[in-house]
A and B are shown apart, each in its own frame.
Chain A
Amino acid sequence: MTEGLLLLAELVLLSLLLLAVRRKAKDPKTPDLGFFSYEVLSDDAPPPKKRN
């Protein structure tokens, strides 16, 4: 049961990643990778106050 649920979660997360990559590849102006987006810091802007 645990294995099955984790497998389902794994496949869903991987699908999210692959679809986000496909979206980004089709339109490079897409700003991020959806659920797996990452912080983009600019050299001009001040750094965020808090980051764990």
Chain B
Amino acid sequence: MRDLLVFGAMLLFVPLGLSNAFIGYMLWGWAGLIAMNSYVHGFMGIVPFVQLFALVTMASLLMRNGDRFERIEINRTTVLMMLFVVHGFFVALFAYPGLDRNWELFGNLTKTVLFCLLMPVFVTSRYRIHAMVVMVVLATSFHGALDGLKFIASGGGHNARGIAKFGDNNHFAMVLLMVLPLLYYLYQISSRKLAKYGFAVMLPLTAFAVVATASRGALIGLCVIVLFILMKSRNRVIGILLVAVSAAVVVQLAPDSWSERMETIKTAKEDDSLLGRFGAWRVSSSIALHNPVFGGGFRAVQSSVLWDGFKDGPTLLPFIEVAPSSPSGLAAHSIWFEVMGDMGFVGFLLFVGLVANAFLTRREILKLTKGRGPSLRWASDLADMLGAALLAFVVTGSLLSAAYFELPYIFLILLEVLKQHVLKTVAAERKAATPQAALRPESLSPPRPS
């Protein structure tokens, strides 16, 4: 039945994508984030949706179907992204032998960066920026709504694992946390009441799904995001009430095992799971010290051979001991150490540059919109919420191997696209204001003698 449903939808989506390249582009992004193959198990299960919509977009772009396109922008963000992927190519080329997913991960990174570099070509106006945000939220919060509903229906007993694409429960929680600020943005900005209330319902459902993952890092991330949103909220009383009600529901529904697991945050220093992560950081930095330019290759630290070879080598973290009983070849468990081990210090600096650049771009947007009228308030709100989403990535990602996941890259480029749009709007306003100023009577009068 689901296959027929999706098949029917494709009969609409593919022609729509062919008729307008921007629609094809949105479908490409949507297919990547929703991972439809995880939800259909019949004849549609073998359809490569992402590749299909990527082809549809390219075909539509070649036919120039759509109302407006721009050239690929050369700016700080796009240059950093291009350098990161070019460096990634050499990383994969010079990687240690025997890394199973080396080229696969490089391929995924390349596809993500290609998608991002095309965004300034298609997303050229406010309604397109809005449509992109709605598309990302629809695709991502679908997973959250599903597990949030299961959490309520099971009386808190449901254990959310997410789908294979996202990895384990911790990765899934990170993805959901990143979409929460955008749900809040859409709730604020939507003018149709039904849509507004729909986003308002999705917010707690997605938060419940985060709780259902029983991820301790995500609980910390959730607190950070909720605080950030409350700080930025224009109606804090309602916000605090909503948070209080949601927290009460969680406390009522969550089983004892959840509370016991969250309690272990206090004793994290004695936790084997955390100690194992520290060991992976030590090994990752050791690989980077030995290969400072190109690192060890994608997922190098997960190779048992490399782990055993580097666990006692020189490292940036000499105070951390890798326990002799610790299994070999663990995940890096930190976006920072993951990139450091995989791509060396050059890749690490590019990655840090990308993340820092996003926060800098957010600041630039806030500066550009500050003191202007309400017409650009949406841009500062969106910049804030994209910043919050990236903050969730930084906070929870510091304990996860998620450096190459596409969502943060999409948000990075969306911030850049938003900045370009604000710059153009401000420039157009100035241009429109200048002739008027020149025609004012006082500007036409002769200069006063000094």
Contacts and interface: CB of A to CB of B under 8 A. Distances in A.
Interface stretch (B93-101, B128-136, B306-314, B320-328): B128-136
B62 interface: no
B150 interface: yes
B374 interface: yes
A19 B23 CA distance: 9
Interface string A16-39: 011111101110100011011111
Interface centre among A25, A41, A43 (most CB of B within 10 A): A25
A37 B234 CA distance: 20
A13 B150 CA distance: 21
Given A2-B146, A18-B16, A22-B20, A38 B130 contact: yes
B234 A17 contact: no
A22 B20 CA distance: 7
Contact of A24 (B127, B187, B372): B127
A25 B127 CA distance: 10
A6 B19 contact: no
Interface in B11-30: 12-13, 16, 19-20, 22-23, 26-27, 30
B375 A42 contact: yes
Interface in B174-200: 187-192, 194-195
Interface string B25-56: 01100100010000100000000000000000
B66 interface: yes
Contacts of B372: 43
Contacts, number: 117
A9 to B, nearest CB: 9
A8 B5 contact: yes
Contacts of B145: 6
B134 A17 contact: yes
Q: Interface SS of chain A: helix, strand, loop or mixed?
A: helix
Given A6-B145, A41-B375, A43-B374, A51 B188 contact: yes
Nearest to A20: B131
A52 B131 contact: no
A43 B373 contact: yes
B2 A36 contact: no
Contacts of B67: 25-26, 28
A10 B138 contact: yes
A35 B142 contact: no
A37 B195 CA distance: 9
Contact of A18 (B27, B187, B195, B375): B27
B134 A36 contact: yes
Contacts of B16: 18-19, 22
B67 to A, nearest CB: 5
Nearest to B16: A18
A48 B226 CA distance: 25
Contacts of B86: none
Contacts of A13: 138
B238 interface: yes
Contacts of B187: 52
Contacts of A22: 16, 19-20, 23
B375 A21 contact: no
A2 B145 CA distance: 10
Interface in B227-275: 234-235, 238
B1 interface: yes
Given A7-B2, A51-B234, A52-B234, A37 B191 contact: yes
B375 A15 contact: no
B378 A38 contact: yes
B377 interface: yes
Interface centre among A4, A14, A22 (most CB of B within 10 A): A14
A10 B142 contact: yes
A20 B248 CA distance: 39
Contact of A43 (B150, B234, B375): B375
Nearest to A33: B127
B9 interface: yes
**3 tightest Cβ-Cβ pairs between the two chains A and B:** A43-B373, A41-B374, A11-B9
22 contacts: A2-B149, A3-B146, A4-B5, A6-B146, A7-B5, A10-B34, A15-B9, A15-B13, A18-B27, A19-B16, A22-B16, A22-B19, A24-B127, A33-B127, A35-B194, A36-B190, A38-B130, A38-B189, A38-B190, A39-B190, A41-B373, A41-B378
